[in-house]
């Protein structure tokens, strides 16, 4: 079928991104919004907007019945879930399809299978993809967890079997930690995802987080190379790059081939991401999970490949075959994305929603700013603090970091505190410039380098 209209079941910058891609394809757009988001940029840009509930996400953006009813009432052909909210909810995908509409993403069964991290590990094993040493499946209580931890060796990571976003995860360095953190992780997972199931993985001490972008139409599957996502705070990505700058070519080829093998194993349809840990010391990589949706960091892949991933998702959902053959996907230059949040790094990253009094967006060759902001906009306090992404592309990584530093200097957001200053400090840090970082680097750096820098700034002020 040809998709002529779609409903965006999300908000913020990803809603704006989807609207722009849809309009470029000549598709009518309908934006849902909560009572708190009536002034949202996506509402202003869409052809039509429909309120679906009060500010609380569970009563609006997470309300499957309300979202599907809005889609049916608006007469759309399809629903795009974006990321977060209902994007990896198999029941939502099923409900959209049951209403006679097209869900822009994998089928509910595929989301259900890959969304359960334990089941996804089993799929990866069948596809020949190496997994992190740990439990064979879900852990049946603390006694079994202790046995697995003693077999694999500490430290171990306790992880939620369902969900993502860094929730339901704890690190246990010894048995006492395991006994304390295991029930905490289970309770958090149950509250966040409605599933308190856990599994265990051995902690790869100096790992880097590398992920591969995949596209599939159910019969044909390709990769769009990898992204480096090792700069994280509390297991939340802060800064992403493409390609991974220290990955040897042979490792890149194996990594990307394994992601395609996994996609083929489940006849994947749409855009997705296969995430790995890469061990710098051994050169080995291990499967972590699959995200069955568009990722926050997808723009860096678009910048180095020239592929519009959101548009490709829409075409595939409409029944088109992949328009790109693997041999046509090439890496051109280097790209970096900085997540801009309304948070105050000096005060423990406290969320700081408020009114945008002035906004100056950097421009020029190789500079892109995906955002939900405009001057006069009052950011509501009910949702995620991500308000924009500064993406920069250049012929190589050194040139990209130079361009990024200039773009960050030009980015002006007057109003609530943001993380722009944090990214300026990172862009100028010798270790970051040299690529000498791993998944634990940023939290250590925040306690030393950035803490010292912000302290000196405060003294001067």
Helix (H, G, I), strand (E, B) or coil at 452: helix
Q: Is 397 annotated in the active site?
A: no
Spatial CB neighbours of 358, under 8 Å, sequence gap ≥ 6: 375, 412, 413, 414, 415
Give the phi and the psi of residue 214 in degrees, each rounded to 5.
-120, 155
Q: How far apart are CA 342 and CA 371, in angstroms?
A: 12
Neighbours of 358 (CB within 10 A): 10
The tokens of 430 are what? 């010798």
Give one DSSP letter per residue of 207-240, joined into a string: EEEEEEEEEEESS-EEEEEEEEEEEEETTEEEEE
Omega of the bond prior to 155 within 30 degrees of 0, cis? yes
Tokens 């250590």 map to which residue? 444
User: Rounded distance, CA 47 to CA 30, Å?
Assistant: 6
Q: Are 234 and 442 in contact (CB under 8 A)?
A: no
Active-site choice (170, 252, 293, 368): 293
DSSP character at residue 430: H
Catalytic sites, residue numbers: 293
């Amino acid at each position: 079928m040809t998709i002529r209209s779609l409903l965006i079941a999300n908000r913020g910058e990803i809603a704006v991104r989807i609207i722009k891609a849809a309009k470029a394809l000549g598709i009518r757009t309908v934006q849902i919004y909560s009572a708190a988001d009536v002034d949202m940029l996506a509402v202003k840009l869409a052809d039509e907007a429909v309120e679906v509930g009060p500010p609380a996400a569970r009563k609006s953006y997470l309300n499957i019945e309300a979202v599907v009813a809005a889609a049916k009432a608006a007469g759309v052909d399809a629903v795009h879930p974006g990321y977060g909210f209902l994007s990896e909810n198999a029941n939502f995908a099923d409900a959209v399809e049951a209403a006679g509409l097209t869900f822009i993403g994998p089928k509910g069964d595929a989301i259900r299978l890959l969304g359960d991290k334990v089941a996804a590990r089993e799929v990866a094993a069948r596809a020949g993809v190496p997994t992190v040493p740990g439990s064979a499946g879900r852990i049946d209580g603390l006694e079994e967890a202790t046995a697995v931890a003693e077999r694999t060796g500490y430290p171990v990571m306790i992880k939620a079997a369902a969900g993502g976003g860094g929730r339901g995860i704890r690190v246990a360095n010894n048995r006492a930690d395991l006994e304390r953190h295991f029930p905490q992780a289970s309770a958090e997972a149950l509250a966040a995802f409605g599933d308190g199931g856990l599994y265990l993985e051995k902690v790869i001490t100096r790992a880097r987080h590398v992920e591969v972008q995949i596209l599939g139409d159910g019969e044909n599957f390709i990769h769009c190379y990898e992204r480096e996502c090792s700069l994280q705070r509390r297991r939340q990505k802060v800064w992403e790059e493409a390609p991974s700058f220290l990955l040897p070519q042979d490792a890149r080829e194996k990594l990307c081939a394994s992601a395609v093998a996994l996609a083929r194993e489940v006849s994947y349809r749409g855009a997705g991401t296969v995430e790995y840990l890469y061990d710098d010391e051994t050169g080995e990589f291990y499967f972590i999970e699959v995200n069955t949706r568009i990722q926050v960091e997808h723009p860096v892949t678009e910048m180095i490949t020239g592929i519009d991933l959101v548009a490709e998702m829409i075409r595939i959902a409409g029944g088109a075959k992949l328009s790109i053959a693997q041999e046509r996907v090439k890496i051109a230059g280097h790209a970096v994305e900085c997540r801009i949040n309304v948070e105050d790094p000096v005060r423990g990253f406290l969320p700081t929603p408020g009114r945008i009094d002035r906004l100056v967006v950097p421009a020029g060759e190789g500079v892109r700013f995906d955002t939900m902001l405009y001057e006069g906009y009052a950011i509501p306090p009910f949702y995620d603090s991500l308000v924009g992404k500064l993406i920069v592309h250049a012929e190589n990584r050194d040139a990209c970091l130079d361009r990024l530093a200039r773009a960050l200097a030009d980015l002006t957001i007057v109003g609530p505190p943001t993380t722009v200053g944090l990214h300026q400090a990172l862009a100028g840090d010798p270790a970051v410039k040299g690529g000498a970082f791993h998944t634990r680097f940023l939290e250590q750096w925040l306690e030393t380098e950035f803490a010292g820098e912000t302290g000196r700034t405060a003294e001067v002020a």
